[in-house]
């Protein structure tokens, strides 16, 4: 059967510094370490599900524990923080203790488990119950993968057994009949992982049945679900499918797992088709996904770019990279991570946004979607529990392995350590301030000389790239692929990578006609009022052919990770910072700017950012 083309290096050590390291430390200290105690209802809603009066909850309340656990486990992979490890251990122990003997681990009362309805709120409420169990399963399976915790696997299996008993075969109510199908069909993904982990064919049988239910219709012929397999194989753009909301990305990820299990190429083709459709038509200039919580077929749409949507998009990108080994996918992951994922977090680590727009302001999710706040869960909402996962998923793609060696995708100050071969440990230490500059020096340490292929990601936007190994230039390096360095590696080897950090431009269309996005490497340069003398409606026009900006050294508190100063056409100084830092102080920002002399570029799979250079 097919396997992923490449995969994360399980057990690799990551010591991440720089901007990402700062956010990881802050989110660990200020959110992950305190969220369960500051919001005890995260688990209490599971403990008192049958107590009266029933709690007033949002339909997706059952997801909170699972999303939190998934984010915490993936951040731990990058930090190995002993305090966080202890918190997760205690959290999993308590979570498992709240599971009903039937396997149920949601917040809704007896008689309403996995039915799609509950009596909690006045007049009843449509529940995303299977969706909540999906997220709990995902977090538990990740924890089991990293620790071998039998309690976590047993808890996930009990959920899987309940889903099988309730929905497999000729049953009174199919899973698709429980409603909210973009959400409630998501267990197809976790069931596939559980089947691979355990070998139990019942989980696979239900997953295949759920895929068939993707195409279900009601008595009038209207679609009940997203028909993800047929529309993907048929090349239908994702925004034109019956269910183009962001939650659909989670059941779609089940397709790629089914490809590995069955070898049926239709699953692979459908998954790839949906991914490329979103890149082309719904991934914004900042790497975020969604406009008003769904695909619109328009990357210029000004609708809200929800945190949960971008996190799901990054997760889908990880699966696409595992499947294809295409470096362009890693470029997309970098774009989304250093712009949107960083941008949706407060640098304090204390809060994350609901909406991180291309132009606008950043508001805490507890501000924007405060309607989700409840007694016992004052800070919990769909985005607050999910945001940290975007940082943690760097562990999935920073350093990967295939049959020939290692793929280095993450550039930034860090030390990455992995086993190579049977008994050799290789350490890759990056000395760099990337992405402030394009120079990355990699110092190799090997416990013994070892032959393998070290492949360096060369971003598609880097037109002029140089790679030097121990003083010897490497020929034929080009953007949009990997530079393969196959040799016997020894301690003391040094690789010097120089990426092209000259400016490149995306000329806007539709709602963004007449304005342009400016990039330096992967960084979206952004106007922030707090860094400039002029107000947003008075931003001067830039001339693309005369933008010899200077890199400024950040100073003082709350300064951006990257800052440049340009001279506008009218002679005024305009400072642009990295998108991830923009709006940190609550000031308005804009990432679409007036720039003369930029021609529009059509989307292409080898250059998906639509950028061009001038001069």
Domain boundaries, the chain: 7-399, 403-498, 503-596
| For residue 410, pLDDT beyond 90 | yes
Please report the pLDDT score of residue 423 as a whole number.
Answer: 85
Instruction: Answer whether residue 422 shows pLDDT above 90.
Output: no
Cα separation, 236 vs 355, in Å, equals 27
Phi, psi of 580 (to 5 degrees): -60, -30
| pLDDT tens digits for range 63-82 | 999 999 999 999 999 999 99
Strand residue runs (E) in 5-49: 7-8, 13-16
Averaged pLDDT of the chain: 98
Q: Give the mean pLDDT of 342-346.
A: 99
Q: Quick one: pLDDT at residue 156?
A: 99
Q: What is the mean pLDDT of residues 211-233?
A: 98
- Read off the DSSP letter of residue 358: S
Pick the closest to residue 75 from 21, 38, 34 (CA basis).
Answer: 21
Of the ranges 194-203, 497-506, 546-555, which one carries the lowest mean pLDDT score?
A: 546-555
Question: What pLDDT is attached to residue 202?
Answer: 99
Buried b (16+ CB within 10 A) or exposed e, 482-511: bbebeeebeeebebbbbbbbbbbbbbbeee
Nearest to 592 by CA among 354, 302, 305: 302
Q: Is the pLDDT confidence value at 460 over 90?
A: yes
Of all residues in the chain, what percent carry a pLDDT higher than 90? 98
> What are 356-370's pLDDT values in tens digits?
999 999 999 999 999
Whole-model pTM over 0.95: yes
Q: Is 402 left (phi over 0), alpha (psi -120 to 50) or beta?
A: beta
* In the predicted structure, residue 396 carries a pLDDT above the cut 80: yes
Return the pLDDT at 615: 80
553, pLDDT greater than 90:
no
Token digits for 13?
Answer: 């050590």
Give residue 122's pLDDT: 87
Q: Which residue has the tokens 């040799």?
A: 487
pLDDT, residue 458, reads 99
Q: Which single residue is written with the structure tokens 């869960």?
A: 377
Q: Residue 205: which pLDDT band, with cuts at 50, 70 and 90?
A: very high
Distance CA 531, CA 525 (A): 13
Q: Which residues pair with 414 in a beta bridge?
A: 16, 430
Look at residue 495 and give its three-state secondary structure. strand
Q: CA-CA-CA-CA torsion for 434, 437, 438, 441, nearest 10 degrees?
A: -60
Give residue for tokens 């230490």.
429
Topology of 7-399 in CATH?
Glycosyltransferase (1.50.10)
pLDDT in tens, 430-451: 999 999 999 999 999 999 999 9
With bands split at pLDDT 50, 70 and 90, how would you rate the model's confidence at 399?
Answer: very high
Helical segments of 221-288, H only: 228-233, 249-262, 265-281
Q: Which of 454, 132, 192 is nearest to 319 (CA)?
A: 192
**323 Cβ contact list (under 8 Å, min separation 6):** 4, 5, 256, 259, 268, 271, 272
Supply angle C-alpha 233, 293, 273, rounded to 5.
15
pLDDT at 558: 76
Instruction: Measure the CA–CA gap between 367 and 586, rounded to whole angstroms.
Output: 13
Phi-psi region of 185 (alpha: psi -120 to 50; beta: other; left: phi over 0): alpha
Closest CA to 206 of 162, 145, 243: 162
* Structure-model confidence comparison of residues 548 and 286, the more confident one: 286
Is the pLDDT at 170 greater than 90? The verdict is yes
Question: Which residue reads 């993450």 in tokens?
Answer: 410
- Please say if the pLDDT value at position 557 is more than 90: no
């Amino acid at each position: 059967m097919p396997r992923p083309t490449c995969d994360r290096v399980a057990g690799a050590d990551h010591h991440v510094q720089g901007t990402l390291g700062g956010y990881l430390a802050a989110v660990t200290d200020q959110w992950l370490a305190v969220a369960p105690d500051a919001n005890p209802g995260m688990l209490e809603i599971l403990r008192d599900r049958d107590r009266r009066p029933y709690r007033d909850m949002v339909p997706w309340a059952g997801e909170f524990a699972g999303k939190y656990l998934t984010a915490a486990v993936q951040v731990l992979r990058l930090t190995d923080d002993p305090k966080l490890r202890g918190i997760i251990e205690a959290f999993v122990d308590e979570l498992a203790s709240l599971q009903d003997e039937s396997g149920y681990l949601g917040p809704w009362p007896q008689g309403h488990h996995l039915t799609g309805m509950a009596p909690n709120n006045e007049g009843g409420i449509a529940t995303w119950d299977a969706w909540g169990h999906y997220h709990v399963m995902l977090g538990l399976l990740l924890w089991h993968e990293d620790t071998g915790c039998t309690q976590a696997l047993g808890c996930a299996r009990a959920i899987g057994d309940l889903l099988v008993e309730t929905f497999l075969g000729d049953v009174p109510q199919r899973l698709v009949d429980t409603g909210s199908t973009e959400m409630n069909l998501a267990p197809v993904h976790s069931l596939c992982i559980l089947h691979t982990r355990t070998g139990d064919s019942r989980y696979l049988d239900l997953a295949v049945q759920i895929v068939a239910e993707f195409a279900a219709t009601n008595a009038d012929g209207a679609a009940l679900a997203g028909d993800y397999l047929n529309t993907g194989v048929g090349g239908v753009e994702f925004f034109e499918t019956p269910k183009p909301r962001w939650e659909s990305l989670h059941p779609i990820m089940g397709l790629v797992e089914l490809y590995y299990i069955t070898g049926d190429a239709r699953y692979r083709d459908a998954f790839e088709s949906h991914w490329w459709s979103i890149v082309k038509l719904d991934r914004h200039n900042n790497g975020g996904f969604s406009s008003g919580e769904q695909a619109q077929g328009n990357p210029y749409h000004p609708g809200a770019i929800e945190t949960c949507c971008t996190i799901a998009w990054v997760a889908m990108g990880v699966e696409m990279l595992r499947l294809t080994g295409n470096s362009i996918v890693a470029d997309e992951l970098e774009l989304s991570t250093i712009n949107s994922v960083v941008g949706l977090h407060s640098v304090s680590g204390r809060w994350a946004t609901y909406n991180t727009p291309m132009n606008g302001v950043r508001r805490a999710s507890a501000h924007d979607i405060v309607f989700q706040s409840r007694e016992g869960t004052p800070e919990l909402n769909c985005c607050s529990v999910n945001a940290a996962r975007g940082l943690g998923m760097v562990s999935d793609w920073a350093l990967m392995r295939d049959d020939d060696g290692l793929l280095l995708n993450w550039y930034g100050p860090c030390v990455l350590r992995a086993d190579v071969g049977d008994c050799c440990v290789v350490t890759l230490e990056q000395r760099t301030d990337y992405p402030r500059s394009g120079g990355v020096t990699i110092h190799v340490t090997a416990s013994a000389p070892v032959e393998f292929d070290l492949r360096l990601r060369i971003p598609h936007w880097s037109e002029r790239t140089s790679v030097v190994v121990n003083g010897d230039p490497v020929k034929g390096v080009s953007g949009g692929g990997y530079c393969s360095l196959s040799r016997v590696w020894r301690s003391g080897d040094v690789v010097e990578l120089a990426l092209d950090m000259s400016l490149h431009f995306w000329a806007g269309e539709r709602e963004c006609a007449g304005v342009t996005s400016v990039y330096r490497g992967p960084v979206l340069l952004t106007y922030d009022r707090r860094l400039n003398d002029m107000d947003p409606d008075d931003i001067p026009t830039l001339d693309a052919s005369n933008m010899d900006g200077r890199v400024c050294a950040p100073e003082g508190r709350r300064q951006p990770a990257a800052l440049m100063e340009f001279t506008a056409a009218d002679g005024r100084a305009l400072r642009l910072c990295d998108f991830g830092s923009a709006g940190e102080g609550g000031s308005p920002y804009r990432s679409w700017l007036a720039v003369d002399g930029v021609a529009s570029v059509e989307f292409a799979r080898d250059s998906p950012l639509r950028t061009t250079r001038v001069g």
